Structures are given as structure tokens and as C-alpha cells.
Amino acid sequence: MSIQFDSQNRSFTLHTRSTTYQMQVDQPGHLQHLYYGRRLAEGDRMDAQVLPVNCGFSPVPYGCNADYDFSLDLLPQEYSGCNTGDFRVSCLSVSDAAGAAGADFLYVRHEICAGKYQVDGLPCAYDSGGEVETLVITLADPVTGLELQLSYGVFAARDVITRQARLVNRSERPMTLGKAASACLDLPYGQWDLIHFHGRHCMERQMERTSLTQAVQTISSRRGASSHHHNPFVILCDHQATEDAGDCYGMMLVYSGSHRTDIELEQSGGVRAVTGLHDELFSWHLAPGEVFDTPEVLLSFTHEGLTRLSQQYHAFLRHNICRGAWQFARRPILINNWEATYFQFDADKIVDIAAKAAELGVEMLVLDDGWFGKRDDDFTGLGDWFVNENKLPGGLNPLIERIHRLGMRFGLWVEPEMVSEDSELYRAHPDWALTLPGRKPTLGRNQLVLDLARPEVVDYLYDLLSGLLRRHRIDYIKWDMNRNMTDVYSRALPPERQGEASHRYMLGLYRLLGRLTAEFPQVLIEGCAGGGGRFDAGMLAYCPQIWCSDDTDAVERLIIQHGTSFGYPISAVGAHVSACPNHQTGRTTPLGTRAVVAMSGTFGYELDLNKLSASEVRAVCYQIEDFKRWYHLIQDGLYYRLTGVDGDFTAWQTVSPDRSEALVSVVVTHPRANAPLVHFRLKGLDPEGTYRIAVQRFLGTTNLPSPGEAGGDAPPARRWSGAALMYGGYTLPRISGDFPSVQLHLVRI
């Protein structure tokens, strides 16, 4: 049993393979957090670690007056109440029909059962191996009749505990939620750093590590999308923690809309982290008997440093969030026409691009934006999902047939959540867009957002997309979303429910994606939002891969993919080789380096391969062969960051689960005269195993031969022990060139 209840002292202990989570019902009945961290011994109880000590101005619950030290403001909580004595960042704000705000949750009962709880209408983790246990603790506020059910899913083998909160109005009168977080994590002791992933369009998920300051730090998005700007994933790690050692906690929200995580360094030195829906513009009217479910949070802990924490999330997202036919299957290497043609193409041009790609081993053509409606630029056409016959005479099917005849799969871009003002759909249903009464709507990329809080809009989109998939042999969908939400107002909701519009939109989106993935499980969906503007665990439940960024520059991608790797697996990272000078930065990097970076993702091309020279074409053949050969090593292997992204070179590695193979990738980002040699230590090998380099590729180097050139494929004859490579490291010969890279494929002999 990974969940234990001790009835004598009313404590709960949750064990995973290497961690323990503990809480206890206190005398008055509050659920107090006791411990989360490295695994404890059987029978250990951490109630003596957190002693009530009054700090002055600490409110004491009525009836506890005798114990002047007892204050909800100082003790670690599982889920704080509202307006009843805990002044730290709260989980909840609620007011009753009289406008009185207050909730003080007391224990009522609990239930332990096998299997994983589900969350109505929202994506959440599932039990893939029959090893998960669920604990549901029910608490209630006796005055308002608001019930709180806290669910815990214990994934023992993965060292992950999921949490979710359900609020139920058990009274006869309506209430209004002003805030409803998913979970709170109180760490009473320690010196913690915060790691979070911020960015902007074309520069998502840059990792930042800061000390906590005596303040509240907020990581949030109010954009109606998880956003390019702040990813809904944070890490609290010991001030001394490195990639290889130290306590690290992760909190990842399974949600794709507006979110908020507050990290508060308290007066007593403890830390509180609260995560969940953003509360700005949010309110939820809870009529008698109604239920509100918060999104799920994935908690993970390790004492073995940041790499281990990342590996725990990678495995969890792959096995317990992603699903469907493409979860583990080798994804097709694709060619996308966007950066090759933008809106200017016709069927022959697309076939021309596809034919060359097929010849070199590419497996799928993705037709991007511009195939529908009056869509020759980004001012018109969204919503009119019928084929633009000027570009594709006879519709999609003749083109799909030509692509299939090349032996390729066919993929199609859509942006279903949006509508252009200049479209037949908007003219027919102006009230289906999010707009505020009496105001001209704010535009983003010249478009408006459809109101997915309206069930008829979701039904319409379902009929449209399912029809498209039924009438055509489409193997893949790129599901885009190219602006954030403003003017949030749903014409279908009454005034007291307007604060629900943005979350109801997300429920509508998830319902739509859920229906489509259930009906078309063989169709691979790649998520996208102007690149990686919705790269989160919620979308991964429907889309096992997500376009990581609109920035395809290989050097910038190193930073973006490095940040992304802290939470998300390589198999989720959409990455392509594009043309140079790069369309976003104007930088020129070697073709080989672009491929090395794209191979740390789902791998594909986004350029016209007909424009390459003969030697570049030869290089592409090598890249495709290599990627096919190493696919499972890259996607299923354990991922190690060998360096950060601030030095002169960036190196990373994947190791097969049995440690028999490894792929090391190195990119020199700052070529310098007389530079120190590139040296790094490998990780995760079998120290006693003997390894040889089976394949060695110098790419874009001006002093060493590239693959295909004489001497370019000859690896050194030497053998090394895993210990030598890990403890002594490996040194590359001096390499020169503009952003050169190296790949080493090691095998144990």
C-alpha cells in the first residue's frame, strides 16, 4: 500500500519509490501538511518537526484560545481556507449569498482506493500500469456548506503525486468562487531557489533561477493560454542543488489556459507555493449542488538534482499523460511548407517540395496555412475551412493522392479556435467571437477568438473537423492558435457567470480535442500556438508533440530546447531544420548543426530541399538515416544536460535505458580564437562497461572532414570504460568554424 492512514493520530502517509508525503488532521480538524521529501522509514511521523510558535499578530481560531501558539497563519496547510486566519497566499476565495467571504475547512472523511481518480472535463494523468492509488480527503466548511475534496494520486514507481481540488456547494444558497487554486505546497524549512521558464514569442521557456526574496513571486499568464511568457511549471530547489545532486520539487499544472503560481517566502522562513487557475477575470457561480473541479497538478520530488527531476517528468508525461496510437510510436519525419512558401503556393509547388523530400527519406508532407478560404495573407479566411480552389483545384483529395503516391503521409494545418473578421463564418455568426458589448474588439494577428464556452461553437467545430477527417485521408493535424484572448465576454452566459468564460473556453477546447482524438485515434495531432505558446501538460494529453517555437534558428533553439527539457520530454518537442539565413534571426548556421538541434526533437524540415546543393542533399540523406537509426535512443532514452547554455558550447546526451548506447551532441555557440578545448563529462553510462565510438560526425567544421568526405566517418579506434568517460570526461580535437557541431554515438561492447 502506498497510502497509509494512521487512525490514532489521524495522519496520512503517501510513499512513492523514493519519496514520502505526509499530512495530519489537527485537533480542530484542519488538514496540516507535515512533510514532502526523501522517503522516510515505515512508521516515521514528522509532527514534531513543525511546532506551533506564535510570531505575534498570529490569529488563533476560536476555541483554541488556550493554545496561544496555534495559528493557521504559521502552520503548513494542505489547502488554505479563506478569511479565517491564514494571511499567506491563499488557495481560495469564496463568498456566500450575503456577500460574506469565509471558509474554514475541517476534516469529514477520507477514502483510499486502487486506481487513479479522473477529473470531469479536464485532462489529467492516468494509470498505465495498474499501480496507482488514490486518496480522497473530504473537508467541509460547516458555516457555508462548502465542501472541499482533495484528491491525491500516488504514482509510486514514477515518484509523482498528483493533486486536484473539487469544491461542492452543499448548501441551499448560491456561492461565488473568486479563486480556486489546485494545490498548495508548504515547505517550512530550507533555503530554496525558484526555477521558472519565461519568454516571449520566438523565445519560449528560457530557464531562470533566482533566490527567493522576502516577497511573493508570481509566475502567471492572463492570456487565455499557458503562454510563451510563463510556462505553468516551476521548480523549487535547494540553494546548493545542481544537475546531479540536491533536493528539487516540481509543480506542473495540467492546464493550457490562464494560470498562476505564487511562491511566498514567509515571515518564519518557510515557503508556500500555490498553483492553479489565474484568478483575474475569474469567478465561478456555484449554485446549490454544483461542483467545481480545478485542474490537476503533478508534483515530483528528488534529492538527486535537476536532471533526475527532469527525467521523472519526462517519463511521467510520456507514460501517464500522453496517450493514443502515437504515444510511443516512431513519429514520421516531416517536411512542412510554411517557411518554404508562406501563403504563396499551389498544388504543383507542394508536390515539388514533397517529391524531393520523399526522395531523401522524408516521410510526411505537412501543408501549412493558406490552403482554405480567401487566405493569401493573415487578414482573411480563418473560419472558412473549405479549400481554396485557386491554389488546389479539385480540392484536397487530388493533392493528398499525389502525396500518398510519393509514399508519404499527409498532414494539414488548421486553426479552428479563430475567426477572421473577413470570413463567411464571422459574417454568419458575429456573436460567436469573444467581444465586449459596445466595444470594437482588440485584434491579434488580425483575428478574433471564437467563443468555445458556447457548446454550439464546439459542436460546430467538431462537425467541421470530423467531416474534414472523414472525407480525406489526413494522417496528421497541426493545431494552431495564433493569438491570446482579450475581450473575454461570452454572449451565451448570464451576467453572474461572465467570470467563467475563460475557463469554460478551456473546457470547450478539451471537449473538442477529446471527441476528435477518441474518434480519430490514428491521426497524429501536433499542438501549436504561434510556436510554443501553449506548450503544457494539458495539451500533451491530446497532442503528443507540440511545435516548440516559431524561432527555428539552431543557436536560439539550443536555449529554448534546454529550458523546455527541464519539464518536457524530447518526444514532445517539435523541431525542424529550416533555411539559412534563418528567417527569424538572419543568422547562418551549418546545415549539420541545424540537424543536430532538430534531432533533439521530433525532427523534420521546413524549407524547399530543391534549393540545396548536391553536397547538402547528401548531408540530408545522412541526417535522415541517422535519425531513423537513433530514433528510439533519442526519444526513449534518458536525457542529460551536460552543460548550461551560457558558455562557449552546449552539450547534451541521451542514454538508452539499458545504458548500452548513448548519443552526445555538442554545438559550439561562440567560436573563438585559441579557445580552450571542448571538454565534457558524460553521464548515465555503466561505469564498468566498455564503450567505443561507433559514429562520429563533425558538422560544419572548417578543419575536420564532414560525413561523406574522405575520412569523415572514421571514429577513433580507442575503447573507454564508462567510468573514464563519466569521471575523466571526453575532449574533442580542436574544431573551428561558424557554429560547428559534433555528434558521438557510443555503444557498449
Active-site residue list = 536, 616
- Count CA atoms within 13 Å of residue 745 on its CB side: 14
CB 546 within 8 Å of CB 332: no
- Distance of closest approach, residue 548 Cβ to ligand GLA, in angstroms: 10
Please say which residue, 294 or 482, places its beta carbon nearer to ligand GLA: 482
Among 305, 180, 206, 291, CA closest to 249? 305
Q: How far, in Å, CA of 378 to CA of 331, rounded?
A: 30
- Distance of closest approach, residue 2 Cβ to ligand GLA, in angstroms: 41
- Distance of closest approach, residue 327 Cβ to ligand GLA, in angstroms: 23
Q: Which residue is nearest to ligand GLA (CB)?
A: 369
DSSP state of 101: B
Please say which residue, 247 or 369, places its beta carbon nearer to ligand GLA: 369
CB 296 within 8 Å of CB 163: yes
Among 160, 138, 170, 140, CA closest to 151? 138
Please say which residue, 292 or 413, places its beta carbon nearer to ligand GLA: 413
- Distance of closest approach, residue 386 Cβ to ligand GLA, in angstroms: 18
Please say which residue, 365 or 663, places its beta carbon nearer to ligand GLA: 365
What are the residue ranges of helices labelled H in 525-590? Answer: 537-540, 554-565
- Distance of closest approach, residue 606 Cβ to ligand GLA, in angstroms: 8
Among 576, 691, 573, CA closest to 639? 573
Q: How far, in Å, CA of 542 to CA of 322, rounded?
A: 7
Q: SS3 breakdown of the chain: % helix, strand, coil, rounded to 5?
A: 20, 30, 45
- Distance of closest approach, residue 549 Cβ to ligand GLA, in angstroms: 8
Burial 357-368 (b: 16+ CB within 10 A, else e): bbebebbbbbbb
Backbone φ and ψ of 517, nearest 5°: -70, -30
Please say which residue, 499 or 531, places its beta carbon nearer to ligand GLA: 531
Which cell numbers hold the place of 523? 491521426
Please say which residue, 168 or 575, places its beta carbon nearer to ligand GLA: 575
Please say which residue, 374 or 628, places its beta carbon nearer to ligand GLA: 374
Q: How far, in Å, CA of 391 to CA of 337, rounded?
A: 14
CB 288 within 8 Å of CB 172: yes
Omega into 581 within 30° of 0, i.e. cis? yes
CB 261 within 8 Å of CB 275: yes
Which cell numbers hold the place of 464? 467541421
- Distance of closest approach, residue 477 Cβ to ligand GLA, in angstroms: 12
- Distance of closest approach, residue 384 Cβ to ligand GLA, in angstroms: 15
Please say which residue, 560 or 704, places its beta carbon nearer to ligand GLA: 560
Please say which residue, 530 or 684, places its beta carbon nearer to ligand GLA: 530
- Distance of closest approach, residue 713 Cβ to ligand GLA, in angstroms: 34
Strand ranges for 571-725 from DSSP E = 573-574, 577-578, 604-606, 638-641, 649-655, 661-668, 679-680, 690-699, 719-721
DSSP output for 313-349: HHHHIIIII--STTSSSPPPPEEE-HHHHTT---HHH
For residue 274, count other CB atoms closer than 10 A to its CB.
Answer: 26
**Which residues of this chain interact with ligand GLA, rule CB under 6 A?**
338, 368-369, 413, 480, 482, 528, 530-531, 547, 550
Burial class (CB in 10 A: 0-12, 13-18, 19+), 727: exposed
Task: Collapse the DSSP code of 411 into the 3-class scheme (helix H, G, I; strand E, B; otherwise coil) and give the result.
Answer: strand
